[in-house]
Structure 1
């Protein structure tokens, strides 16, 4: 991988984590297309990696995997559609796992948590703070000072919504800087938010690197910082400095993306998907190439390993929403103790 950003991924034996029921279930042979709902607009981070992954799954299953964009309510509308669908294995979703795990904390969905999903992760993504190419801000320090000044509340930030990666990123930046105001402008996806910023509709975007890469390479966006403790290298542009150069104590956690199947589907669906993920996705050159070209980290996993990898960002986002006064339900309702920042039994 050409980028200098490195995320230490937990080692695990994913092939050893299959439950007894799925380990001995017969192979699933779907007889009609599978509906894969992306609850965000076209061109965003979820949409991008899903459209790279779907053909791999379709070839392995022998049926079409139809990607359907159904944006709205920070991904909650499309996610609810999947939860409402018959649990027959023919309706899946794709997202950042932290969204699916914390929708009930933010009140966008009720009575749902990470264990309502079989988790299949493909990449980890990082937000980047960028401004239009002709912006007055030349580095993140200048932007940070502007945010912290009286003029900060007038700085417009384009995101895909409060619970999107960009929305949580700007909120986390404000938290780390002891609080500043801003004017969030919401779009149907991270791609549209990045394009809007490049066009001058907003002064800043904090969406993911994968949603901004082509605009940065094309000179339409100026990247000021990556939300990481290491720089991000993208071919054709100068390394993007880490936000810890300015906010050294900012909490950071990898943001994992993938495909999720609702709990309650037949065992053979999960057994088959586990096998495909292990044999096809975890060795996919297509996804590796996508990650290397767009500033993501190739990080496929599934089952209990994927759940363990996801929990740090789930805990961070759930507890941060409490600190910002945005939580509708306490994270304890999904088994998270924010005093200790740990997962507890439910």
Structure 2
């Protein structure tokens, strides 16, 4: 009787023990490629490299960040969706690559939900309106006045069609009755370079992509698209403080693997990334960029992603944006 009870207890415990053991036992057999669908030097790329360096030791393999930009982030993301699902290819994406492209691009070449398994949600980017120093505007109301005086003459840069910087600016124009000309870029670095150089007038950029330039006096911040001021820019008022309502937006970022990746690999990769996002040294490095770290495990991230996709669909609808624009 005792042996039967012990045997039965072992059978009941086996599924739980085996999954944990398998996850811990899974070990990459070679370097892991972490694809970033944007140029090197942008905030998505920098955060990916911080985490990649931190998880390489525990995994016992190099984690190599590879930049595959273009197509509003679809080219690199599509490559990961079609990669061999063995745990050796992952990606650090965001609300554009794993959300907005589904309704903004007519043929993205992948399904942001069905073709990927989330590993960890990383957190969110605040947006900040920045202008070239030559633009005679120090507040968002002065930007609105300039845009209304000469409709379509001001141009704004974004990190690509369907990006947070694109849709949030279109929403801003819909809320304020203004019209500016869209200039899409293949990521933040070329956009910021042209803004500093005075070749574009304004951008509603993610804070990490422009914080250093703001602090260096190379460009000017005129409004934050968030509910409260950011301690890194305490003198920059929010949109709502300046009389613009219903135009706030933030962008998120997360790690993904191709769908079909074995569960032990997913569990191990997710566990190491989650540990990294809770590592105080890693958090400090990312926080200094202006990114808010909010780790979410796969179970927490899935409903969050679904809600965020619905939110951005509404933003696009409210802004009157059609797919493929």
User: Normalising TM by the smaller chain, what interval?
Assistant: 0.7 to 0.9
- 1:122 and 1:328 map into 2 onto residues whose CA distance is 27
Aligned-residue offset at 1:166? 1.4
Aligned-residue offset at 1:96? 1.0
TM-score normalised to structure 2 length: 0.86
Look up the match of 1:263: 259
Look up the match of 2:296: 301
Question: Conserved in 2, the CA contact under 8 Å of 1:35 and 1:90?
Answer: yes
Unaligned residue ranges in structure 2 (runs of 5+) = 1-15
For 1:22-171, what aligned pairs fall within 5 Å after superposition? Answer: 25-26=22-23, 27-106=25-104, 107-110=106-109, 112-119=111-118, 120-147=120-147, 149-171=148-170
TM-score normalised to structure 1 length: 0.81
Aligned-residue offset at 1:299? 1.0
Change (3 A) 1:132 1:265: same
Per-residue deviation, residues 163-207 of structure 1 (Å, max 9, x unmatched):
122112211212322x43211222221132122101101111211
* CA RMSD, Structure 1 to Structure 2 (Å): 2.3
* Structure number with bigger Rg: 2
Aligned-residue offset at 1:104? 2.1
Instruction: Indicate the larger mover: 213-222 or 155-164.
Output: 155-164
Question: Conserved in 1, the CA contact under 8 Å of 2:207 and 2:290?
Answer: yes
For 1:2-21, what aligned pairs fall within 5 Å after superposition? Answer: none
Question: Conserved in 1, the CA contact under 8 Å of 2:81 and 2:259?
Answer: no
Change (3 A) 1:290 1:232: same
Look up the match of 2:271: 275
Per-residue deviation, residues 86-129 of structure 1 (Å, max 9, x unmatched):
11121111121453123221124155133432221223111110
Unaligned residue ranges in structure 1 (runs of 5+) = 1-18, 330-346
Look up the match of 1:232: 230
Question: Conserved in 2, the CA contact under 8 Å of 1:225 and 1:241?
Answer: yes
- 1:270 and 1:125 map into 2 onto residues whose CA distance is 25
The count of residues paired between Structure 1 and Structure 2 equals 306
> Equivalent of 1:181, from 179, 193, 201?
179
